[in-house]
Amino acid sequence: MFQNSKAAKASLNAAALSQCGPPIRLAGVYRSMTRLGGIISMIFCLLNPTRGCAQLSAGSARGEINPPLTLLNWVGHQPYPGVLDAVHVRALVISDGSNRAALVAWDLTDTREGFVARVRKEIQRATGIPADSVLINASHTHSAPWVPSEGSVLLEAERRTLLPVETSPGFQEWSQKVVQQTVDAVKRADEARKPGTIHIARAWAGDLLFNRRPTKPDGTVQTTFTPDDPFTLPGGQRYAGLDPTLAVVGFLGPDGEGLGSFFNLTCHPVSVYPHDKRISADWPGPASDKLGEVIGGESLFLQGCAGDIVPIRRNLPARDRMASMITDRGLAAWKRKLRLDPAVIQVRRKEIRLPLNPRARKETGLASVMTEVQVICMGDLAIAALPGEPLTGLAREIQRRSPYAHTLVLGYANGGGVQYVGMPGDKRRGGYEMGPVGSGEDHCGQILTDAVFELLESLRVETLTRQADQEPIHLYLLMGQSNMAGRGIVEPIDQVPHPRILMMDMNGSWRLARDPLHRDRINAGVGLGSEFARTLADRDPKITIGLIAAAEGGSPLSRWVKGGDLQDRALMLAGLAKRRGVLKGILWHQGENDSGKLADAESYAARLTTVIQDFRQALGQPELPWVMGELGEFLIKTPRPDTTHAVVINDRLRQVSTAVSHVGLVEAHYLTAMPDGIHFDTPSLREFGRRYAEKLIGLQTR
């Protein structure tokens, strides 16, 4: 299956460099075209410095970290009877010309905060790579040792399991070997760096995996470590979710040679254990070897959130079969890889406290433990690293909320945290993972996912605002009262940010836009602004949109006139936003508050015209597009005592749209209300937002 791997490597990697027709067979011509492509890329980067066109380079290396056979196996506290296959540390160092980051993969059971800190410190001393820019991930093979606890908080069960191993002959010497080999691998990888390009590929591996937490009819979990028949479940149980994705990320040099890669799959490496007691990297070991052999350089296995995911079959033949299938599918996907834009490398880590549950507090005398989350981002690629043994639900939640198109979520990274950790509600459902093996409270998973999202959001905002120095953000000022601020019910989809839409809050800070946009207002919910922005962003993938949330529920038109508090506030926010962008339009929805008295309604056209002129004059944009929407038909069909003249307001809005240049009116036909009878419901606000976008496009193209 893996014969003639050099030929396979040449075929796979040449495909990345021949994107305009069949491969060029003449070697000299091929090299010339490759160099020309590099020159063109360099020119593009010089002309577009903020599009992430960094001078990317990468290098990889590995070292052997087999423990002595005198070391006790942490499962049965017996010496290892031999070595089935070697365990390694693999390192990949990447650089954008200014920043470096190191990815480290251990064929070991875990990581621990204290030991990771020591290794990071030594890496920084030897290479200059900042300790905070080193990510260390363990495969979680059960056929190799744990790393030293080194001050980590241990539960009683962990003390019984780990301390006999740490005091066994050769453990201290072996742990120092892990440090030395890791530092050496990172150093050699850094020295081996060459300019290159980054690529990503994905394959299906769901048929190789099993979530060992099937759900019983009563909603509780039936832990099933090794199912007799994984393709059927007894007693009406339901299968639990999993991520079937095998992701391969690789770096190719100027001539197509592989500089290194990593692959990510969420699954326990427990095919060997307990069927063979010898030291082994399990299925990630041979998969890493073969992927590296064909793609080029070393291939690191980066473990996902595998707390509840195991191989669908477990034994030595199953290990070999799984490694082969992962390799075959990874290489098949590699032939269809996507080249990612080179980008600035951004790294953030955040220390967080995770609260301990009552049993753990009693055993340790502590209320919480300190651990960390870390993210590494390059353009549209994000790697999020979680400590301990997270269930797959955490990864799915992070990916759902992530503003990055390609988000890989790792567990077993940079520390042990509270070990097994799920999302809120998992403990109530029970199962092995939510028992004594996890020391955290039920909401620890939410703390971790929120912390990761905070880091991802901050890096994405940093990228978009930095790019604005060359490609200004398209700004839109949202003004009016509650139907612009939004009162729609927020649904899960509304919490998923668009990667190119920002919002400015009332403090003048940029954030990724997600409803409620006017989150600092009372009763704020879904508005029309998000769907408006998504419609524009999806039409033009080159632009970034910034929404300035300035609406105020219940506000009369009199507060928006020149000298009024809301006009002053809106102009102040617009001034702050224009440091990063260009104001492209104003979205207006207001009038409910002015529809209660006939005099206010009848004078609305004249007063609104003055407001429009005053804003345009203050902003220095006399032809700034102004898009406004009708009041809801439901206010006319079912009049309220405080909106009896809604039909007059709509008539005056039509007058303004025809009398004032660059003003567009959006009809509210067929839009429906919430139960309160005055606010548009969520589906209607989304439709309204799309209509606003279409109207704006019409104004801009006149």
pLDDT at 36 over 70: no
* The pLDDT value given to residue 49: 40
Comparing 50 with 188, the larger pLDDT belongs to 188
Q: Which of 162-176, 208-222, 240-254 has the lowest mean pLDDT?
A: 162-176
d(CA 11, CA 18): 11
Q: Which residues of 666-683 are buried (b: 16+ CB within 10 A; e: fewer)?
A: bebeebebbeeebbbbbe
Q: Hey, what are 215's tokens?
A: 């759900």
Query: In the predicted model, is pLDDT for residue 21 greater than 70?
Result: no
Give how far Cα 663 sits from Cα of 22, 360, 535, 653, 696, Å: 52, 64, 19, 10, 9
Q: Is the pLDDT of residue 346 over 70?
A: yes
Residue tagged 């009552």 (tokens): 358
What region, left, alpha or beta, does residue 23 occupy, with left being phi > 0 and alpha being psi -120 to 50 degrees? Answer: beta
pLDDT of residue 40: 43
Listed in sequence order, the residues at least 6 apart from 678 whose beta carbon sits closer than 8 Å to its beta carbon are 482, 592, 632, 635, 640, 643
Residue 554 zone, left/alpha/beta (φ > 0; ψ -120 to 50; rest)? left
Cβ–Cβ < 8 Å for 56, 381: no
Summarize pLDDT for 79-98 with one digit per residue, the tens.
999 999 999 999 999 999 99
Q: Tell me: pLDDT of 8 over 70.
A: no
Contact 546, 504 (CB under 8 A): yes
Give dist(CA 280, CA 78) in Å, integer: 15
Q: Quickly tell me which residue has 């790697």 as its tokens.
A: 383
Overall average pLDDT of the 506-526 stretch = 89
Terminus-to-terminus CA distance in the chain, angstroms? 62
Residue 508 — pLDDT band, cuts 50, 70, 90?
Answer: confident
Helix (H, G, I), strand (E, B) or coil at 265: strand
Q: Is 665 helix (H, G, I), strand (E, B) or coil?
A: strand
> Which one-letter DSSP state was computed for residue 644?
T
| Top-ranked range on mean pLDDT: pick from 13-17, 37-41, 629-633 | 629-633
Structural tokens at position 365? 């005398």
Q: Give the CB-side neighbour count of residue 296, counting CA atoms within 13 A.
A: 24
Look over the chain and give the mean of its residue pLDDT values, rounded to a whole number: 91
Pick the most confident of 19-28, 150-159, 380-389: 380-389
pLDDT value for 432: 87
| Residue 691 CA to its chain's centroid (Å) | 30
Asked if the model's pLDDT at residue 543 lies above 60, the reply is yes
Structure tokens at 671: 């839009």
- Name the CA dihedral angle for 505, 511, 514, 516, rounded to a multiple of 10 degrees: -20
Q: CA 544, CA 502: separation in Å to the nearest integer?
A: 8
Asked if residues 131 and 305 have their Cβ atoms less than 8 Å apart, the reply is no
Cα–Cα dist 341/534, whole Å: 22
Show contacts of 651-655: CB within 8 Å, 24+ apart: 652/601, 652/602, 652/604, 652/605, 652/608, 653/591, 653/604, 653/605, 653/608, 653/628, 655/605
Residue 30's pLDDT is: 34
In this model, does residue 50 exceed pLDDT 80?
A: no
**Domain limits, CATH 3.40.50.1110, in the chain:** 470-700
pLDDT interval class at 52 (50, 70, 90): very low
Distance CA 259, CA 514 (A): 39
Contacts of 185 (CB under 8 A, 6+ apart): 61, 62, 63, 89, 90, 91, 104
Across 214-236, b (16+ Cβ under 10 Å) vs e yields bbbeeeebbebeebeebeebeee
| pLDDT for 227 beyond 80 | yes
pLDDT at 48 over 80: no
Look up residue 654 and give its two tokens.
Answer: 């039509």
Residue 356: pLDDT over 70: yes
pLDDT for 549-592, tens place per residue? 999 999 999 999 999 999 999 999 999 999 999 999 999 999 99
Q: What pLDDT does residue 685 have?
A: 98
Q: What is the chain's length?
A: 702
Assess contact for 84 and 272: CB atoms under 8 A: yes
Burial class of residue 563 (count of CB atoms within 10 Å of its CB; 0-12, 13-18, 19+):
exposed
Q: Which CATH architecture has domain 470-700?
A: 3-Layer(aba) Sandwich (3.40)
Tokens of 487: 């009162």
688 pLDDT more than 90: yes
Q: Which two tokens stand for residue 53?
A: 């066109």
CB atoms within 10 A of CB 435: 12
Q: Tell me the pairing of strands 626-629 and 663-666.
A: parallel
Structure tokens at 278: 């010898």
Give residues with Cβ within 8 angstroms of 400, minimum separation 6. 492, 496
Query: Model confidence over 263-285: pLDDT tens digits?
Result: 999 999 999 988 999 999 999 99
Look up residue 23 and give its DSSP letter: P
Give the pLDDT of residue 24. 33
- Residues 6 or more apart from 451 whose CB is under 8 A from it? 350, 352, 373
Other C-beta atoms closer than 10 Å to the C-beta of 176 total 12
Instruction: Enter the tokens of residue 476.
Output: 């839109």
Cβ atoms of 293 and 2 within 8 Å: the answer is yes
Confidence of residue 32 (pLDDT cuts 50, 70, 90): very low
Tell me the helix, strand and coil percentages in the chain, rounded to 5.
40, 20, 40
Sheet holding 299-303, edge to edge: 299-303, 258-265, 245-252, 197-204, 338-340
Q: How many CB atoms lie within 10 A of CB 389?
A: 25
Among left, alpha and beta (phi > 0; psi -120 to 50; other), residue 549 is beta
Give the sign of the dihedral formed by CA 213, CA 216, CA 218, CA 223. negative
- Model confidence, pTM: 0.88
Tell me the pLDDT band of 253, cut-offs 50, 70 and 90: very high
Residue 4 scores a pLDDT above 90? no
The rounded distance, in Å, linking the Cα atoms of 594 and 602 is 9
Q: Is 194's pLDDT higher than 60?
A: yes
DSSP letter, residue 589? E
pLDDT classification of 53: cutoffs 50, 70, 90? low
pLDDT tens per residue across span 442-488: 999 999 999 999 999 999 999 999 999 889 999 999 999 999 999 99
Task: Using alpha carbons, list the distances in angstroms from residue 499 to 380, 476, 515, 518.
Answer: 9, 17, 14, 19
